[in-house]
Structures are given as C-alpha cells and as structure tokens.
Amino acid sequence: MIPDMSIMIISLVFVGISALVSYVLKSKFKKYSEVATSSGLTGHEIAEKMLRDNGIYDVKVVQGEGFLSDHYNPATKVVNLSPDVYGTASVAAAAVAAHECGHAVQHATAYPWLTMRSKLVPVVQVSSYLVQIVLVVGILMVQAFPQLLLAGIVLFGVTTLFSVITLPVEFDASNRALKWLDSAGITYKQEHDMAKDALKWAAMTYVVAAVSSVVILIRYIMIYLGASRRD
C-alpha cells in the first residue's frame, strides 16, 4: 500500500540519520572523555557544585548504569550520572553532569517548557502505548472508517508535541550548563569549546527525533485528508 510505503521510507531515512548522529555523539564523547579538565573535578563533584551554586540542596546525585544513560528525574529530584561521567574528571563528564544539573535548575526555577513537558508525561505514556495500533488499523480501514486514523493522528500529535517541547528544554539546559562551567572556572577556552561541541551533538539527537515525528505526522494528516476528499 503506497501510504504505508511512504511512511516506512520516511521512517527508515530518519533511522539512518539518527544512527549517524548517535555515532558522532559517541565518538565525540569518547574523544572528550580523554581530555582532562583543568579543575580536576569529577562529574559527581561538578554536579554537586553546580547544584550548590544555584542554591539547590534537595537534589541527590547518584551513579546509574549504562553508557550515556545520564538523566534528571524531576519526580524524585535525582540526577543520575552514568559511570563514565560520575567518577571521571574529563571535559565530556563535565559537560554531561552540568547539563543534567541544568535540568535540576530548570525544575527549581519552574522553567515553563520543563513544567509543560512534565505535565505531558502521563498523557504521552498512554498515547505511546496506543498510537501504533490505532495508526496501523486506521491506515488499513481508512476508506471505511477514516475517523480511526484521525484518532491515531491525535495520539501521534501528542507524542510529536512532546518531542518538540523537549527541544527548548534540552537547549536551555545546555546553555545553563555552559554558562555555569565558564563562570565557575570548570572549563577554560579550549575545554569550553569541546564541552559545547559535545552538548551540541547530544541536542542533535532530540532535533532529529522531533523533525522525524513532525514529518511523519504531516504524512499521516495528508493520508487522512486524501481519504476524506475521496469520500
């Protein structure tokens, strides 16, 4: 079926782009993990310092598991750092640790985009669970029951909105991180540029995901409108 094929092709193209960006990100992280910061502070120490410098004392910094699994959980107020970041005094570790603490600062200051994103999480969890089934059945039954595809589009639209809202959240966290790393004397000129480069590629993973979601959403809308006109 042509609509299915077009969506499959679009998805495969973005899977390829995502894989390429992920490869570059991992290469950058590995490269900058071998560059020590002048401060000599580990990711854990940097995270603790950034939180204190921003007057945040109710957020824990813990070591998680996995590679580049770093994240901040606003529900539990915990900054989870991967082993390669937590105990390493490198430019890559500094950039990642500061970025995750940037999210904690956003949370503490009620950054609007993060607040909006957090409120969408329960809805997105439900939408993500249902969307693929509804869309597949909706495509198959688009001639007889186009309303089902419309329901799938609404569900997919929610996940797309979440991806788009994630962009300002991620970019702002990186900007906060880089600004603080500079002002706190953690990274100097060359180190700062490396940290900025690492965070740029990390942000690109979210950009690709958001653009992919928007393009696929538009394609589904076109399929629905085409079926509606035929009716």
Active-site residues, by number, are 100
Q: How many residues are present in the chain?
A: 231
Angstrom distance (rounded) from CA 11 to CA 7:
6
As beta bridge partners, residue 81 has 63
Give me 56's structure tokens.
């945040």
The SS3 call for residue 111 is: coil
Enter the DSSP assignment of 187: S
Three-state DSSP class for residue 75: coil
CA dihedral 17, 20, 24, 25 (to 10 degrees): 60
Question: Residue 34 — φ and ψ, nearest 5°?
Answer: -95, 0
> Roughly how many angstroms between the first and final C-alpha of the chain, as a whole number?
19
Return the amino acid letter for 137: V
CA-based angle 115:116:121, to the nearest 5? Answer: 100
